[in-house]
Amino acid sequence: MKPLILVSYMVSIALAIFIYFSHLRSLRQKKKTIGIIQAKWSSKLNLSFPTSCVRWGAIFLYLFWCVYQVVRQPEANAGHFSFMLLVILLSFAPRWEVFLGSGGIIFNMKVIPWERLSEKKVVSEGRNKYLYMKESFVSAEPEIKTKKIRLPKHVIIFFLHS
């Protein structure tokens, strides 16, 4: 194995570990602000969402492509660097977690307290359920922001009963 590839592996794995644990540390601090966690799911990689199944399929196809490139030409850089890119992209997985708590919600690493919302409701669109939230008073912007979050089935049951 070339020294450049070996150094690149070490750097990319170290970068991925740093990104992953920095997101976990940030989430741990943010989870304290939303009270008791009542539900959690991934907004991008949850297998109950069809689009997420497509994402997982694309990830596995890309992984197989990287392995094929490495096995075909182990001395070439292309397969190794593609694999390193995949590892770095997957280190962002904690960023895509959604936490529903008694005092608010964490979505895309942003804490949204329930008090800041003028309206929250679960809406059906076809077979899918979404949580619509309207922020009532955002300090910097006068307009009302609306966020739409897809809900898995286990969260819908909880949310409708709370």
10-residue stretch averages of pLDDT, the chain, 162 residues long: 84 95 94 90 84 91 92 86 92 92 90 86 86 73 76 68 49
Instruction: Kindly write down the DSSP assignment for every residue of 71-126, as one continuous string.
Output: HH-TT-SHHHHHHHHHHHHHTTGGGGEEEEESSEEEETTEEEEGGGEEEEEEEEET
pLDDT of residue 121: 86
Token pair 């679960």 is at which residue? 122
Q: What pLDDT, on the 0 to 100 scale, is given for residue 24?
A: 94
Question: Can you tell me whether residue 48 is helix, strand or coil?
Answer: coil
Q: What CA dihedral angle connects 35, 122, 150 and 105, to 10 degrees?
A: -20
- Bridge partners of 123, per DSSP, are 130
- Looking at residue 47, the DSSP 8-state letter turns out to be T
| pLDDT, position 156 | 63
- Residue 27 CA to residue 5 CA, distance in Å, equals 33
Six-digit token pair at 110? Answer: 């942003």
Per the CB < 8 A criterion, the answer to whether 121 and 70 are in contact is no
pTM above 0.75, yes or no: yes
